[in-house]
Amino acid sequence: MLLAEQRRLLCEYGHRAATTGLVVGTAGNLSVRAGDLVAVTPSGVSLDRLEPEACPVVDIEGHLVEGDLRPSSETPMHLAVYTATGAGAVVHTHSVFGTVVATTMTELPPIHYNVLLLGGTVRVAEYATYGTPELAASVRDALKDRRAALLANHGGVTIGNDLDGAFEATRLLEWLCEVYVRARSVGEPRVLTEEQLAAVVRRAFDPPTFPRRPGRPLRED
Ligand SMILES: [Zn+2]
């Protein structure tokens, strides 16, 4: 079986996406790249029931290489993202809070500094019908210099060097969107300024230091 390990990982993270509530049924798809091949979740199969053999393998141009089932209808979007970003994995979901923000906003404002882990303010890609080249192009543009994008009236997409990175980016995106939506229900959220965000970046490159206390070894052995 081609890409056996990658297809096993697709199932592992597909199950996690389902059990954590990020994906309900078939409302999401994942892929992972190895060279010019991509293993992707199939169309019409609930992610909580996914088996490795059911995951098709396509090449980067979209030819089916192995598998009996039809690749996810969002495969053109995944392939466009790989071509534009060099990512190793892509996760797309219709997660609740991500979709709420994608349905009401043109971007997710930086209200928490952890948005920097996704590259900064998350853009909302212009609406286009699912599975179309227009949506693929719109998402590709929204992901420029970012690890996440929202898709207007649709959901979210994240990338990573591997499936774990892309999956964690999806969890972070959903958390940020949830914080934003809940904050809006209390009041008008304060948005971090460019200077505050720049200070976070400087701090990350210059973390606090903890010099060893003199005269006493940390371990007796
Ligand atoms: Zn979708």
- Give 1-45 as a DSSP string: -TTHHHHHHHHHHHHHHHHTTS--TTSEEEEEEETTEEEEPBTT-
Specify whether 194 is catalytic: no
Q: What does each C-alpha distance from 131 to 29, 73, 138, 139, 171 come to in angstroms?
A: 12, 5, 12, 11, 23
Distance 90 CA to ligand 1 centre (A): 12
Distance 45 CA to ligand 1 centre (A): 14
Reported as a single tens digit per residue, the pLDDT across 10-31 is: 999 999 999 999 999 889 999 9
Reported as a single tens digit per residue, the pLDDT across 145-168 is: 999 999 999 999 999 999 999 999
Distance 9 CA to ligand 1 centre (A): 20
Q: What does each C-alpha distance from 103 to 134, 144, 154 come to in angstroms?
A: 18, 21, 7
Starting at the edge strand that comes first in sequence, how are the strands of the sheet with 107-108 ordered? Answer: 64-66, 57-59, 37-40, 28-34, 89-93, 155-160, 148-151, 122-125, 107-108
Q: Is 78 left (phi over 0), alpha (psi -120 to 50) or beta?
A: alpha
Reported as a single tens digit per residue, the pLDDT across 67-105 is: 999 999 999 999 999 999 989 999 999 999 999 999 999
Reported as a single tens digit per residue, the pLDDT across 155-210 is: 999 999 999 999 999 999 999 999 999 999 999 999 999 999 999 999 999 989 99
Question: What DSSP character marks residue 114?
Answer: G
Reported as a single tens digit per residue, the pLDDT across 100-125 is: 999 999 999 999 999 999 999 999 99
Catalytic residue of the set 5, 66, 74, 174: 74
The beta strand positions in 20-114, using DSSP E, are: 28-34, 37-40, 57-59, 64-66, 89-93, 107-108
Distance 27 CA to ligand 1 centre (A): 6
pLDDT band at 217 (very low <50, low <70, confident <90, very high): low
Q: How many CA atoms lie within 13 A of 12 on its CB side?
A: 10
The pTM for the full model equals 0.94
Instruction: Please tell me the distance from the alpha carbon of residue 116 to that of residue 119, in angstroms, as a whole number.
Output: 5
Distance 92 CA to ligand 1 centre (A): 7
